[in-house]
Amino acid sequence: MHKKYSIGMILIAIYIVFVFTIPPLVFEKSVTPILAGITIIMVAIYVILGLDIIHRTVIAMFGAVLSIILAIILGSMVAEDSLHFVIESVDFNTIGLLLGMMILVAILGETGVFHQVGIKLGKISKGNVWILMLLLCTFTSIASMFVDNVTTILLMIPVTLSITRTLGIHPIPFIIAQVLVSNIGGAATLIGDPPNILIGSAAGIDFNSFIVYMGPTIAVVFGFSLLLIKLFFKNELKSEQKLEQKEDVQELMHRDENVIVIHHKGLLIKSLIVLVGVIIMFSLQTITHLEVSIVAIGGAAVLLIISRVSLERILHEVDWATLLFFVGLFVIVGVAEHAGLITILAKLAIGITGGDPWITFVMVIWLAGIASAFVDNIPFTTTMIPLIHTLNVDPTIASSFGPESGFQFSPLWWALALGADLGGNGTLIGSSAGVVAAGLSQKFGHHISFVRWIKIGFPFMLITLVVGTVVLYGFLLLMQ
């Protein structure tokens, strides 16, 4: 831990020296105090998040308060307006959607349906580790399309550990593979991956549009990813297959997958009806014009009423830390935007790409992909959203990516979603799903090291980004 603190302090100190020396020397311009202060806070937060020194929610909340205080002290904001600024900065549509879906999934988890599905998939595989890997990955990816991937991983990893323990095989390849495909599957829908929720809310993208534009690309990437998983884990799966014991397979085949569900059948039916109803309402958003947050919270309220489960127990299952993490990030990025950081970054991006729309499109994908590998894709996406807004109003980009060019939504939004979602696979800290999976594995005695992950995750990320970039580019040209 002391080593992490030292590395963190050195990186932050390097940036502080950089921000006060390079601009005056190279660009002959000094950075304003508020701009320097907010960028130092943001860099410090990213470093601390990357090194996992302090809990991400704690540092995000502290950073938010520090950003507001800094803006007030430097005269960029009036103290009396600070509360109004915070309220304006927080995207409550995103918070509401996450809260509603968390409650729905918490109640669904009470039924044991994920345990049931996991055991059934194990039985179908009959102990063949490659078939088991294929089935678990496919189910996890599809589930992540309609239940956010963090929750899917929370529910699936214990089941995977139970199956692999029964078969006497090592669980780490299965866990890593499930996280990789969970991030891919989640990229296909508005509610599948937290970055998508942020993007959809910021750009006004409805549930159907997200599937139409991202679904085909993600389907191709997913198919390709299964081949990569077999290639990367070929030797491990082969050795595990040899170690299989007939009695272990027989034990799995005799397990009763209905032991939990049978006692919660009524609750399962009610939960599935409400969940399907919520997804249908998402798909009818263009007709109803209801915000996704209203639909999600409304569905949660209905299920709480008809299920009569303990409200206290369900609220205890809600990931309040993640919701507060989002709130803190929204405020920090709000201050950064207020300080003019986003405008500067937009001008820099346009300067690098020459304002060419499609070069900018590719740049956004790869910038988001590489950055999201080392910084959790949630804070990175939160930072990028106002930048994309600014890029979209550039005359050259607007003329090529605007409604008059045949695009309902700017391709830069799809570029950000693809890059942030797939880039999260690059390292252990790149996505919330990866962090959660590593924590659960450690809890059950299976340590996943940063190096172990990056050996698989980083080349996997690079290859899927290449495939995704080509496919999405071609698809958008066809849709134009």
Q: pLDDT at residue 58 above 80?
A: yes
Residues in the chain: 480
Model pLDDT for residues 251-296, shown as the tens digit of each residue:
666 666 666 667 778 888 998 899 889 889 988 877 888 888 899 8
Give the pLDDT mean for 22-34: 74
Cα–Cα distance measured from residue 31 to residue 44, given in angstroms and rounded to the nearest whole number:
18
Q: Which amino acid is at 348?
A: L
Task: Flag whether the pTM goes above 0.85.
Answer: no
Closest CA to 299 of 321, 317, 280: 280
Q: Using alpha carbons only, give the angle 9, 46, 10 rounded to the nearest 5 degrees.
A: 15
- With tokens 């090592």, the residue in question is 170
Q: Measured in Å, how far apart are the chain's first and last C-alpha atoms?
A: 52
State which of 9-13, 204-208, 243-247 shows the largest mean pLDDT. 204-208
DSSP SS3 for 5: helix
Read off the pLDDT of residues 319-354 as tens digits, 9 standing for 90 and up: 788 788 888 888 988 888 888 877 777 777 778 888
The pLDDT-based confidence of 243 (bands split at 50, 70, 90) is very low
Strands (E) located in 105-214: none
Q: What is the mean predicted confidence (pLDDT) over 3-26? A: 81
Q: Take residue 180 and report the two structure tokens written for it.
A: 């990789």
Res 172 pLDDT > 50: yes
Q: Is residue 466 scored above 90 in pLDDT? A: yes
Q: What is the pLDDT of residue 26?
A: 62
Confidence of residue 239 (pLDDT cuts 50, 70, 90): low
Higher-confidence position of 176 and 121 = 176
Each residue of 360-387: pLDDT tens digit?
Answer: 999 999 988 988 887 767 778 888 899 8
Average pLDDT for residues 134-146, to the nearest whole number? 91
User: Count of CB atoms within 10 A of residue 245's CB?
Assistant: 12
pLDDT given for residue 94 in this prediction: 79
CA distances from 29 to 20, 113, 241, 339, 341 (A): 10, 60, 63, 16, 15
